Structures are given as C-alpha cells and as structure tokens.
Amino acid sequence: MSKADFQLDTAAPAKLGVSGVLSFDTATAALQAIRSALAAGGARELDLAGVSRSDSAGLACVLAAVADVGRPVRVVGMPAGMLALAQVCEVDSLLGRAPPAVAAAAGKG
C-alpha cells in the first residue's frame, strides 16, 4: 500500500475497517468505496483505527458516509488528529461515537 492509498476491511460483518490515508488525494474514491461497502453490508461500526493520516477532506468523507447510509453507524478508532478536527469544527456529535466516558471505559477512542 502506498502512502496515498486506503483500504477497506469487510471481514467482520458488523464492522467496516478503514486503513491507510484519508486525505484530499483519496477522499473521493474513499467516500465511494465506503458508501458502497456500507450499503452492501450490515456494518454498524466504521473502524478508523487503521487510518495512518487524515485531513479535513478525510473527515468530510467519514461524515458524508455515515450520514448517507440510512441507519446508525458508530465511528470507532478515530485517529486523534481527526477527532480534534471534528471537535474544533463542532461536528463530532454527527459521528455516532460513544460518549467519552463510555468510550474510555471500553478502551475505545
């Protein structure tokens, strides 16, 4: 996988994993792939723990994918930088994340 690539992991039926880079360079393709995978499967979680780098376009990609799926999808494993950006932009509540105390108790970010 090159630095500009992202990958999806659909091995777990209830979870869609994303790894690699979510940036201006990959956001359009990533959004299409994530939307398709969420529509085709029954994933209830979007796991971003494998994301190595992200920017505002990556955050917009995640927001759009979660908004478009038509069912609740919880975002887990969000990288610290992406979470900080979501909080500064006051969009973190749109991500279906567990409340901080619950996430900390469960060991999730």
100, pLDDT greater than 90 = no
On whether the CB atoms of residues 6 and 19 are closer than 8 A, the answer is yes
Give the confidence band of 70 by pLDDT, cuts at 50, 70, 90: confident
d(CA 108, CA 70): 24
Strand order in the sheet with 45-54: 6-9, 15-22, 45-54, 74-76
pLDDT in tens, 19-45: 999 999 999 999 999 999 999 988 999
Whether the full predicted model's pTM is greater than 0.85, yes or no, is: no
Topology of domain 8-106 in CATH is Transcription Regulator spoIIAA (3.30.750)
